[in-house]
């Protein structure tokens, strides 16, 4: 079975408290972004062990620590009779970018394994497994616009009709930002605006109301993030922001069929498309 794990964008991100377990409570909206990896899940040949092969962008870590393999091992712990599988991941989405690429691989692996191994798990059950692999993972099970609370895994559907068909540009400035380090740099605070209310208003109002709390804390160390945002606004974006804990920055042009071309450094990666 071949699946295409897609990235996500965060629209606003409020970090409201630090929890005793070291995680943070947050309020964010997440939307699927059609920038994808490719993941193949096949039954392994007889007597072969479970394996993962990789192509495309290098993924740090041993194959055994890859989230696709961890997804398989998590299911096998509860269903010891399942056969071995052969996994192949072609990695495209930048890592350490705030685009949730690793989390998507984990969730899509769970979904594909559920089918290939005929486990008949419900979406709720798959979300529960996904939560154990990472805070962002549960979102990718249903993979639809959602308001995320708690650790980022308490999800409720958040229809955003004004976003459908908007042109979008995502810029990855070739900068790996560790999620844990980004959280460590933020001082939690109550949100200035209720996110759900702010996002219900037209997109061109979001600039004044929809805030990603990581931006202020990352700004001194990574001035390029604010510069890219300015460049997107100068090119007419109705809204521009950092996604998640960065380093990807995106702009939105509702009502346009494609985003404008921008002059950017040659080693930056760009995704242009429509949401
Ligand atoms: C920044 C976001 O992408 C926004 O959607 C997510 O909150 C990150 O989610 P994720 O990559 O799935 O994160 P996890 O793999 O669960 O955790 C990585 C590290 O980020 C920090 N972390 C993550 C989520 C959270 N709610 N609070 C945290 O403090 C913790 O230090 C944790 O050790
Ligand atoms: N399939 C995978 N794809 C990407 N990273 C993976 C994968 N499996 C394990 N990892 C590990 O997860 C880390 C990436 O996590 P990180 O959270 O920084 O990035 P991300 O996937 O871009 O998403 P986000 O920053 O939005 O959470 C990598 O450094 C890598 O060690």
Q: Answer yes or no: is 104 a known binding residue.
A: yes
Q: Answer yes or no: is 100 a known binding residue.
A: yes
Q: What is the pLDDT of residue 160?
A: 95
Q: Which ligand is nearest to the CA of 95?
A: 2
Q: What is the ipTM of this complex?
A: 0.95
Calculated CA dihedral for residues 20, 26, 30, 35, nearest 10 degrees: -50
pLDDT string in tens for the chain (275-residue length): 999 999 999 999 999 999 999 999 999 999 999 999 999 999 999 999 999 999 999 999 999 999 999 999 999 999 999 999 999 999 999 999 999 999 999 999 999 999 999 999 999 999 999 999 999 999 999 999 999 999 999 999 999 999 999 999 999 999 999 999 999 999 999 888 889 999 999 999 999 999 999 999 999 999 999 999 999 999 999 999 999 999 999 999 999 999 999 999 999 999 999 99
Direct distance between the N- and C-terminal alpha carbons of the chain, in angstroms, rounded to an integer: 25
> Measuring from atom 19 of ligand 2, which residue has the nearest CA?
96
> Measuring from atom 28 of ligand 1, which residue has the nearest CA?
23
Ligand 2 binding residues, C-beta < 6 A: 59-61, 66-68, 89, 95-103, 105, 136, 178-179, 244-245
How far is ligand 1, taken at its centre, from the CA of residue 208, in Å? 26
Q: What is the pLDDT of residue 8?
A: 98
Does residue 8 have an active-site annotation? Answer: yes
Q: What is the pLDDT of residue 201?
A: 95
For residues 109 and 102, is the Cβ–Cβ distance under 8 A? no
Q: What is the mean pLDDT of the chain?
A: 97
For residues 249 and 171, is the Cβ–Cβ distance under 8 A? yes
Q: What is the pLDDT of residue 220?
A: 95
Q: What is the pTM of this model?
A: 0.97
Does residue 208 have an active-site annotation? Answer: no
How far is ligand 1, taken at its centre, from the CA of residue 101, in Å? 13
Q: Which ligand is nearest to the CA of 106?
A: 2
For residues 110 and 71, is the Cβ–Cβ distance under 8 A? yes
Which member of 105, 136, 153, 213 is catalytic?
136
At residue 4, the 3 state secondary structure works out as: coil
Ligand 2 atom index nearest CA of 65: 9
**Structural domains for the chain:** 2-157 (3.30.230.10), 162-274 (3.30.70.890)
């Amino acid at each position: 079975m071949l699946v295409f794990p897609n990235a996500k964008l965060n629209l606003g991100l409020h970090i409201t408290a630090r929890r005793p377990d070291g995680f943070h409570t947050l309020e964010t909206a997440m939307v699927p972004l059609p920038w994808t990896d490719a993941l193949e899940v096949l039954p392994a040949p007889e007597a072969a062990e479970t394996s993962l092969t990789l192509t495309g962008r290098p993924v740090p870590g041993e194959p055994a620590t890859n989230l696709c393999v961890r997804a398989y091992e998590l299911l096998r712990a509860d269903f010891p009779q399942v056969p071995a599988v052969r996994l192949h991941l072609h990695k495209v989405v930048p890592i350490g970018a705030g685009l949730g690429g690793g989390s998507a691989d984990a969730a899509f692996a769970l979904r594909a394994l559920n089918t290939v191994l005929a486990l008949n798990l419900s979406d709720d059950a798959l979300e529960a497994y996904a939560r154990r692999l990472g805070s962002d993972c549960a979102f990718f099970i249903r993979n639809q616009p959602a308001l995320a609370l708690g650790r980022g895994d308490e999800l409720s559907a958040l229809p955003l009709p004004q976003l459908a068909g908007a042109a979008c540009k995502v810029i990855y400035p070739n900068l790996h930002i560790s999620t844990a380090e980004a959280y460590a740099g933020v001082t939690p605070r109550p949100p200035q605006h209720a996110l759900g209310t702010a996002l219900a208003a037209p997109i061109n109002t979001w600039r004044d109301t929809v805030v990603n709390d990581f931006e202020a804390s990352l700004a001194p160390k990574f001035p390029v993030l604010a510069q890219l945002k300015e460049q997107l606004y100068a090119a007419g974006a109705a809204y521009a922001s950092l996604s998640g804990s960065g380093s990807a920055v995106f702009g939105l042009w509702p009502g346009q069929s494609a985003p404008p071309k921008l002059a950017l450094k040659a080693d930056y990666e760009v995704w242009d498309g429509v949401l």
